[in-house]
A = this chain, B = another copy of it.
Amino acid sequence: MRDFYEEQLNELHTQMIAMGGLCEKAISNATKALTDGDLQLAEEIMKNDAIINRQERDIESLCMKLILHQQPVAGDLRRVSAALKMVTDMERIGDQAADIADIVLDMNEKLPDKFLHVCKMGVAAMKMVTDSVNAYVDGDLELARHVIRDDDIVDGLFLKVRGEILDAIRDGSSKGEEVLDLFMITKYYERIGDHATNIAEWVEYSITGERSNEN
């Protein structure tokens, strides 16, 4: 019975790492598709989103089974319930990468050079996702707390891009559609940063039993 329990806990860990890896790939590909105007890559991201969605359900089922049949206590219970909540944030990261890919397909051209900070935002958000997944994998509390602090960088870049977009509206140098599309992309990156922060907070909780943030 205990062996089977350990096996299921390991299986959960493995599935979480796999799902985290897919999310990382989704966001790094989304930024690549955006900067290169790579439509084929954008299509691929949208297809892979279905896999991420399925993985969320599989992990949810596994967590429910573990809680119900194995009745984990203390640290193990925290790990399982944190996983149950983290997958929601991971799935949203996948959704937002797909939303960015959808806009790339619609724009049908690569990111104009003048919107340099959008790309920087993509890189910063990607780092947060990678770090939050690694913090989970390694149970690294310091790294988790680092991710939570990094959210300020992404939020700062968001304000910079917003300024660039307002300039483009004012001087009429971009079409309205382009402006709204870019604004949505920056908003998606900002949200990805928020989800990575949530994941890091769940890692913190699963290690310490405390939740630092009330948002």
Contact = CB atoms under 8 A, between A and B. Distances in A.
A153 interface: no
**Interface residue SS majority, chain A:** helix
Interface string A70-100: 0100000100010011001000000100000
A17 interface: no
A184 interface: yes
A62 B214 CA distance: 18
Contacts of A170: 176
Query: How many copies of this chain are found per oligomer?
Result: 2
Contacts of A176: 165-166, 169-170
Given A50-B214, A53-B215, A88-B88, A177 B166 contact: yes
A9 to B, nearest CB: 16
B183 A180 contact: yes
Contacts of A50: 214
Chain B CB count within 10 A is highest, among A88, A176, A184, for A176
A47 interface: no
Nearest to A184: B187
Contact of A68 (B57, B71, B88): B71
A162 interface: yes
Contact of A77 (B68, B71, B215): B68
A149 interface: no
Given A53-B215, A95-B215, A170-B176, 19 more contacts: A54-B214, A64-B67, A64-B77, A67-B67, A68-B71, A71-B71, A84-B84, A85-B88, A88-B88, A162-B180, A165-B176, A165-B180, A166-B180, A169-B169, A169-B179, A169-B180, A172-B172, A183-B183, A187-B187
5 contacts: A53-B215, A54-B214, A67-B67, A169-B179, A183-B183
Closest 7 CB pairs of A and B: A169-B176, A166-B176, A67-B67, A88-B88, A170-B176, A53-B214, A64-B81
